[in-house]
């Protein structure tokens, strides 16, 4: 039975039409996946369904009757709840306080008991161990997502709109998410699931809608589309060779670590990265991958020996790492990578300003550098004077890559190269990575996406609890082998 539907909906911002005659139906007890590249119009659809935007033309039907929501809370009152990619939780409040935020029970004095009791019941229903009294800031990311879901349930959600729910989760945590979704589906909730991970979509969705440039290009039921079909429909062409061919790394060591430790996080890691090589590092979130990278480039204090091209170097801070020809592209694009409220040029040149003048910054040269980077990394910016925050996720990532490459580093560590970006851009980024390696640079790629590490890397190291748990190469580079190493499952070791 259809709960919420869009009928012939179009949406324009000024002269630009971003949605064109979209039809979409969410049925109770069904998961409806919405896929498309960044900018295809997915978030506009979510905003219209969630009551944050009005359609320019067409109708929203709730239980078959046309409705108009004037705000998000009004849609929520009707049981339509959106779980945003950036969680909407107050970090300093408890789980219970967040679940009931804005509709606290009790008169003048809050009814803490009822809030705690009801929250505990909701969390029990989700089969989690979270305590209602924990502060959000003390929760892990997947637990926060559980709280979001509990919050949605407490609002008696009939329709749940989830924006990239798995983007922040690791392999194992995604499993828990699937369980929760199955549970909600069995309860008769209608779910709209937006994701870039096509394997998930194939696994979860009862129905799939593919969006491209504001148009619905294909709708299909479960099992009617393969992942390749989906990708092809999204980009509008056949995706041959999603990953670039493997390279032929030399045997010269570019980076050599001996017994590198980051107190409490990384223990006694030794590894060698060869010139022209793409070395993948896999492992669960919390296994010390990011900490290892940050320890190498001086963002965390580390002990041990680091040799670049056979020369021992002392890296006390990031500046030292730059001087040694190293660079690090952070996993946290929005909070550590780019100044979202600043222009593209400022972002591009921030880490390499000395190149643009000792005293007076040569702003013309900066502009030229941006023009060059835009071309080299295919950054699609409608207006070169815009701020970085207005770029789509994929273009932000390309800008961050350009920023990282500006000092011309020879050894590049890339942490989560394609988090939260669309398929087309992913493919481009993979091509960039391979090109950099082919130019004789050496790269370490850290990723939570198994397929990505296997697809892009020449060799994969797996980390577990701050140590290198093993290495897989050639034909052994399979998800199964990597997962076993990452989880410490014994048996037939690789």
Partner 1 sequence: MKPDLHTLGPLIALIALIVLGALLNSAFLAPANITNVLARSAFIGMIAVGMTFVITAGGLDLSVGSMAAFLAGIAIIAMNAALPGLGENWGTILIGMGVAILGGIAAGYLNGALITKARIEPFIVTLGTMGIFRSLVTWLADGGTLSLDYGLRTLYRPVYYGGIGWVTWPIIAFALTAFAGEWIMRHSRFGRHVEAIGSNDRVARYSAIDVGRVRLLTYMLLGLLVGLSTVLYVPRLGSASGSTGVLWELEAIAAVIIGGTALKGGRGRVWGTVVGVLILSLIDNILNLADLVSPYLNGAIQGVIIVLAVVLQREKRTADER
Helix (H), strand (E) at residue 295? helix 289-296
Q: Binding to partner 1 by residue 364, rule CB under 8 A?
A: no
Provide the sign of the torsion angle of the four alpha carbons 353, 355, 360, 364, taken in this order. negative
Q: Interface with partner 1 by CB under 8 A: which range of 237-245, 256-264, 353-361, 371-379?
A: 353-361
What DSSP letter does each residue of 172-204 carry, written as one string?
HHHHHHHHHHHHHHHTT-EEEEE-S-HHHHHHH
Of these, 88, 226, 303, 317, which contacts partner 1 (CB under 8 A)? 317
Exactly one of 15, 240, 359, 474 binds partner 1 (CB under 8 A); which one?
359
Instruction: State the CB neighbour count (10 A cutoff) for residue 439.
Output: 9
Number of residues that bind partner 1 (CB under 8 A): 29
351 binds partner 1, rule: CB under 8 A: yes
Q: How far is the CB of 119 from partner 1 (least distance, A)?
A: 32
Contact segment (CB under 8 A) with partner 1 among 136-144, 216-224, 341-349, 446-454 equals 341-349
DSSP state of 298: T
DSSP 246: P
Nearer residue to partner 1 within complex by CB, 25 or 315 = 315
Which of 63-71, 77-85, 260-268, 344-352 is the region at the interface with partner 1 (rule: CB under 8 A)? 344-352
CA distance 116 to 94: 10
170 binds partner 1 (CB under 8 A): no
Nearest approach, Cβ of residue 335 and partner 1 (Å) = 6
Is residue 247 within 8 Å of 232, Cβ to Cβ? no
Nearest-approach distance from CB 125 to partner 1, in angstroms = 37
Is residue 335 a contact residue for partner 1 (CB under 8 A)?
yes
360 contacts: CB under 8 Å, gap ≥ 6: none
Nearest to 442 by CA among 457, 462, 452: 457
Answer yes or no: are the C-beta atoms of 288 and 252 closer than 8 Å: no
| Tokens matching residue 325 | 């020809």
Binding segment (CB under 8 A) for partner 1, from list 78-86, 87-95, 339-347, 449-457: 339-347
Closer of 247 and 407 to partner 1 (Cβ): 407
Q: Does 313 bind partner 1 (CB under 8 A)?
A: no
* Residue 71 makes contact with partner 1 by CB under 8 A: no
- CA triple 194-199-201, angle to 5 deg: 35
User: Which residue from 127, 128, 131, 126 is spatially nearest to 115, judged by alpha carbons?
Assistant: 131
Which of 73, 263, 264, 357 lies at the binding interface for partner 1 (CB under 8 A)? Answer: 357
Q: Which residues bind partner 1 (CB under 8 A)?
A: 299, 317-319, 321-322, 328, 330, 332, 335-342, 346, 350-351, 353-354, 357, 359-361, 363, 385, 403
């Amino acid at each position: 039975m259809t709960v919420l539907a869009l009928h012939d909906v179009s949406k324009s911002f000024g002269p630009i039409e971003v949605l064109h005659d979209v039809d979409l139906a969410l049925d109770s007890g069904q998961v409806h996946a919405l896929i498309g590249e960044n900018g295809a119009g997915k978030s506009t659809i979510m905003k219209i369904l969630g009551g944050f935007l009005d359609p320019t033309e067409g109708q929203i039907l709730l239980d078959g009757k046309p409705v108009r929501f004037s705000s998000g809370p009004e849609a929520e009152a009707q049981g339509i709840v959106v779980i945003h990619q950036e969680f909407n939780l107050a970090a300093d409040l408890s789980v219970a306080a967040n679940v009931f935020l804005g509709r606290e029970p009790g008169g003048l004095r809050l009814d803490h008991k009822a809030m705690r009791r009801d929250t505990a019941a909701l969390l029990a229903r989700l089969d989690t161990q979270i305590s209602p009294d924990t502060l959000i800031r003390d929760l892990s990311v997947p637990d926060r997502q559980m709280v979001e879901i509990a919050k949605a349930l407490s609002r008696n959600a009939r329709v749940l709109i989830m924006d990239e729910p798995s983007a922040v989760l690791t392999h194992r945590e995604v499993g828990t998410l699937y369980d929760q979704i199955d549970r909600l589906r069995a309860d008769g909730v209608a779910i709209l699931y937006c994701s870039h991970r096509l394997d998930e979509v194939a696994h979860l969705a009862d129905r799939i809608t593919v969006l491209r440039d504001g148009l619905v290009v294909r709708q299909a039921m479960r099992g009617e589309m393969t992942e390749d079909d989906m990708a092809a429909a999204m980009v509008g062409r056949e995706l041959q060779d999603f990953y670039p061919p493997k390279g032929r790394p030399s045997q010269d060591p570019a980076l050599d670590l001996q017994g590198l430790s980051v107190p409490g996080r990384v223990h006694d890691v030794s590894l060698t990265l060869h010139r022209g090589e793409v070395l993948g590092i896999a492992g669960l979130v919390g296994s010390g991958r990011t900490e290892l990278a940050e320890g190498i480039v001086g963002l965390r204090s580390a002990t041990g020996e680091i040799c670049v091209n056979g020369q021992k170097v002392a890296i006390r801070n990031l500046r030292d790492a730059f001087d040694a020809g190293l660079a690090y592209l952070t996993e946290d694009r929005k909070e550590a990578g780019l100044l979202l409220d600043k222009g593209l040029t400022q972002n591009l040149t921030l880490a390499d300003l000395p190149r643009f003048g000792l005293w007076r910054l040569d702003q013309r040269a900066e502009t030229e550098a941006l023009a060059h980077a835009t071309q080299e990394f295919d950054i699609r910016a409608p207006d070169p004077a815009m701020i970085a925050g207005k770029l789509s996720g994929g273009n932000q990532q390309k800008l961050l890559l350009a920023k990282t490459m500006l000092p011309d580093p020879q050894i590049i560590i890339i942490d989560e190269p394609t988090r939260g970006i669309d398929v087309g851009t992913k493919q481009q980024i993979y091509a960039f990575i391979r090109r950099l390696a082919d130019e004789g640079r050496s790269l370490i790629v850290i990723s939570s996406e198994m397929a990505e590490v296997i697809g892009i890397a020449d060799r994969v190291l797996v980390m577990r609890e701050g140590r290198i748990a093993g290495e897989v190469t050639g034909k052994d580079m399979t998800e199964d082998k990597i997962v076993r190493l990452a989880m410490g499952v014994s048996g037939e070791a690789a």
